[in-house]
Every structure is written in structure tokens, then in C-alpha cells.
Homo-oligomer: A and B are copies of this chain.
Amino acid sequence: MSILRIDGRACDELRPLKFDVDYLSHPLASVFISNGNTRVLTAVSFEDKVPSWMKNQKVSGGWVTCEYGMLPSATTERCRREAAAGKQGGRTVEIQRLIGRSLRMAVELEKLGERTFYLDCDVIDADGGTRCASITGSSLALAIGCKRLFPANENPFKELVAAISVGIINGTPMLDLCYAEDSSAEVDMNVVMTESGKLVEVQGTAEGAPFSRRELNDLIDLAEHGLKQIFVRQREILESI
């Protein structure tokens, strides 16, 4: 493809990707992921109890949940601090539910023991794709955390997951949208996949005009193409721990 993108990338090209492991002193594991100018600090902690609804329903095993946040200074215009506003916005709630669901697919909950794992995803710098970077980063952090916490033969971690955004801009499908692209996309899609190539979540949203089945397929193809490269990078780091 010869269409030039805002930052000079090809349409099927990822932004530079970097994982900084154990960036933080205290949690079980942490991964500071940079995806272009988007930087998200993901961390895994746990406590030895499960949510009360699990107790009430007598579900055995543990739970994985996510909390997502954005520093007020992470965006072009300073965004309001949710702690000061006294509530999390709708976008935040939607995103942290997506991350939580996705990561629960990466582990066998019943092998976690009576524990709740917290995935904290805090956006330090935002340039599009923060929910996908959060999933990709916290998936690696959770894999590392499980490796540390459990003996190899009891490891509840099943499979790495990763996520990438794709979209259609001026009629052309593009991979890994930066903020400027995301804002002008006609269709916006987030694809969460497992390392073995299966789908965990597909969320496609028409922004300007509805889309066809064919466009849907092209976008998922493009996402798969990018996710394969991401899994190679995650795998490399996980093996080295």
C-alpha cells in the first residue's frame, strides 16, 4: 500500500512497541508498555479474598478484575481527575470491564485459589489505543505474576492475549490507530486475540457510516497480522523471566 499515514507508517504497520518489565517496586509484576506515544503502566497485585458475590454463589476459585485510569495530564486537553469528580466516567467503566473480561480468558479461575487479582492499568500518556495497550501489557504482567506465584505445574495462566485497534480512514483499513487517526475513523474496531489465534473480543463500531461484512473481515485480517507480531514480542519477554 502506498497511502501515507500521518506518522509515515504503512497501513498495515504497527507503531514502535516497548515493554518495560518490573518498572514498579511494589506489585507482584508490572509492565510499562509503550505503543508509539501511548504509554500505559500495568500492574498485577492480589489479595487473599474473593468478591462477596462469589462467596454468596459458592463459586470456587479466584477472580481477576481490572481498574483503568488516566492521569489528568495524559491527554491533549487536561482531562478531569475522576477521584476529584467523585466517580468514574462511562468510558472508563466500559474499558475496565472489557479488560477484565479479556484477561479472565487468559487464566483458569478455579486454579487461582481464593484470591482476587487486580490489574491496574494507568495511562501515563495517551495517543490512541489505550485500552488495547492495557490488555497487551497486563496480559504479560499477569503471565509473569503467575509464573512467580505458582509452581510451574499449578500455573493457572493458560495463554497470552493481546489486543490491537484497527479502523477505516478515508475508506482504507489501517492498523494500530494513533489518536488523530482514531478521531477521524469511519469504523473503529478493537480485536482481542489469544496467542493460538482465536478471538476473545471483537468490538466494531461504526463512527461515521455503517460498514459491510467485507470491511469487517478486512479489519480482522489486519488485526491478526498485527497481533501475530505482538505475540512474538510478548513471548520473548515472558521466556526471559
Residues in A lying within 8 Å of B, measured CB to CB: 24-27, 30, 37, 41, 43, 45, 47, 67, 69, 71-76, 78, 81-88, 90-94, 96-97, 101, 105, 118, 120, 122, 124-127, 193-194, 196, 198-206, 209-213, 216, 220
Contacts and interface: CB of A to CB of B under 8 A. Distances in A.
Given A43-B73, A91-B97, A93-B93, 4 more contacts: A45-B72, A67-B84, A83-B88, A194-B210
Nearest to A88: B83
A78 B199 contact: no
A71 B122 CA distance: 8
A67 B85 CA distance: 11
A82 B122 CA distance: 13
Nearest to A67: B81
Given A67-B81, A199-B216, A211-B199, A25 B205 contact: no
Q: Which of A30, A78, A105, A216 has the most CB of B within 10 A?
A: A78
A86 to B, nearest CB: 6
A65 to B, nearest CB: 10
Contact of A124 (B24, B75, B87): B24
Given A81-B67, A93-B94, A213-B220, A24 B73 contact: yes
A202 B204 contact: yes
Q: Which of A27, A76, A196 has the most CB of B within 10 A?
A: A27
A47 B79 CA distance: 11
Nearest to A29: B73
Contacts of A206: 105, 198-201
B74 A26 contact: yes
B73 A120 contact: yes
Contacts of A73: 24, 26-27, 30, 41, 43, 45, 120, 122
